[in-house]
A and B are shown apart, each in its own frame.
Chain A
């Protein structure tokens, strides 16, 4: 069951384009698949437009996209608002000097990396991913940006799973999402 954030008619269309795949990547998870949204050029464009309308004119100089689905949304947003695009990647993907941030998963740990010098002190940043679940990845991304002195203005995702309380993990940083989905984990 998914709720709409408000009555923007574009959101209704968007919600119908997201496909739910049961038991992926493991039993009990109802995976929110945005690839079907990308197959509808108008819905995909509407998605980007809604973010761009919110962030244009807010002096955002950096859009940080989280590998890999954050690249799909982050890159067009960056281009449209005239910001740099900075990929936040899994370990050993970025060449050259990086800084890393470890974060906790349900079982074990993972790590996110950012290029040294990509983001400068005082820059205003937006962090983009397709979905926020527990908030671990977004939190690591924010930490990395703050460590280099950037100001994280907001985190933006297409989908939120509110029951997993990811929002609370963002240390008070605002989170903006287009669609909320409930009962996605059993």
Chain B
């Protein structure tokens, strides 16, 4: 398994794995996750939602794996970490630098589209506002509706809301009445999952109106914040994992 990480990472690195140049002190350890990995490789963090591991036995599939990994590496290295934003102690994972790298941005979308194009997804729900950057290109490519999930009082007309808790206090997410139908198969997109509160609220909103949430998809996960646990039984797919 190929890993992109800093030498000051708290994660153990075995001698048998290939090593990569350190990204430098500006970057925190971040791990690029291959979509599927050989079962003989050592995994740092469990991948619960990826395809089942398979042996890489042919040159063709090995080349595909390499291409996959190089896309993930460039995506990972295009993400910028801003310390102490929005408040002291938070290491903010900034995807805007990824959007400035036209190839890495396209690769990001392609990786999601490759995963979802044959899954009969009828709705892509994007969470305001950075989910509006990744969700629409995915929706367009897979032929699904795009539904914005918004902060209160932004959507005109009739909405349904779901409250969710923050570290201090609560927030609310809204969706248009009638945007989705019972039986729709939905993908929920955001740039990042931290505690999972926002994604959890989006799942509830969609399920309340009879939609089947197939998966949640983010560019980045902060696994230490255990957001995955707040998604109920819904799978989560991410491209990159970062340290909180």
Interface string of B129-152 (1 = CB under 8 A from A): 110111011011001111110100
Please indicate the chain B residues that have their CB under 8 angstroms from the CB of A35 in the complex.
147-148, 155, 176, 179
Interface string of A2-45 (1 = CB under 8 A from B): 00000000000000000101001100000101010011110011
In contact, A39 and B145 (Cβ under 8 angstroms): yes
Interface string of B162-181 (1 = CB under 8 A from A): 00000000000000100100
In contact, A19 and B140 (Cβ under 8 angstroms): no
Q: Is B157 an interface residue (CB 8 A)?
A: yes
- Pick the interface stretch among A89-97, A149-157, A164-172, A173-181: A89-97
In contact, A75 and B133 (Cβ under 8 angstroms): yes
Q: Is A51 an interface residue (CB 8 A)?
A: no
* B77-102 interface (Cβ within 8 A of A): 80, 82, 85-86, 92, 94, 96, 99-102
**C-alpha gap A94/B137 in the complex (Å):** 22
Number of interface residues of B (CB under 8 A): 39
Please indicate the chain A residues that have their CB under 8 angstroms from the CB of B156 in the complex.
21, 24-25, 31, 33
Please indicate the chain A residues that have their CB under 8 angstroms from the CB of B157 in the complex.
19, 21, 24, 33
Please indicate the chain A residues that have their CB under 8 angstroms from the CB of B144 in the complex.
41
> Nearest residue in A to B122 (C-beta to C-beta)?
A41
Known: A25-B156, A71-B132, A95-B85. A84 touches B102 (CB 8 A): yes
> Nearest residue in B to A32 (C-beta to C-beta)?
B156
> How far, in Å, is B148 (CB) from chain A's closest CB?
6
Please indicate the chain A residues that have their CB under 8 angstroms from the CB of B150 in the complex.
68
Q: Is B105 an interface residue (CB 8 A)?
A: yes
Interface secondary structure of A, over-half rule: mixed
Contact of A96 among B94, B140, B148 (CB under 8 A): B94
Known: A75-B137, A95-B92. A39 touches B179 (CB 8 A): yes
Contact of B96 among A31, A45, A92, A118 (CB under 8 A): A118
Contact of B99 among A48, A87, A89 (CB under 8 A): A87
Please indicate the chain B residues that have their CB under 8 angstroms from the CB of A136 in the complex.
none
Q: Is B153 an interface residue (CB 8 A)?
A: yes
* A77-95 interface (Cβ within 8 A of B): 78-79, 82-87, 89, 92-95
In contact, A93 and B129 (Cβ under 8 angstroms): yes
Q: Is B128 an interface residue (CB 8 A)?
A: yes
Interface string of A99-122 (1 = CB under 8 A from B): 000000000000000010010000
Most chain A CB within a 10 A radius of its CB, from B105, B128, B133, B134: B133
Q: Is A72 an interface residue (CB 8 A)?
A: yes
**C-alpha gap A41/B146 in the complex (Å):** 8
Please indicate the chain B residues that have their CB under 8 angstroms from the CB of A41 in the complex.
139-140, 143-145
Most chain A CB within a 10 A radius of its CB, from B105, B126, B132, B153: B132
Please indicate the chain A residues that have their CB under 8 angstroms from the CB of B153 in the complex.
25
Please indicate the chain A residues that have their CB under 8 angstroms from the CB of B137 in the complex.
75-76, 79
The 7 A-B pairs with the shortest beta carbon distances in the complex, nearest first, are: A21-B156, A95-B82, A71-B132, A24-B156, A95-B85, A68-B129, A85-B99
Known contacts A39-B145, A45-B140; 17 additional CB pairs below 8 A are A19-B157, A38-B136, A38-B146, A39-B147, A39-B179, A41-B143, A44-B139, A65-B133, A71-B129, A71-B132, A75-B99, A86-B99, A87-B96, A87-B99, A87-B133, A92-B86, A95-B82
Q: Can you name 15 A-B residue pairings with CB atoms under 8 Å?
A: A33-B157, A41-B143, A65-B133, A68-B132, A71-B132, A76-B136, A76-B137, A79-B102, A79-B105, A79-B106, A84-B101, A86-B100, A87-B96, A96-B85, A96-B94
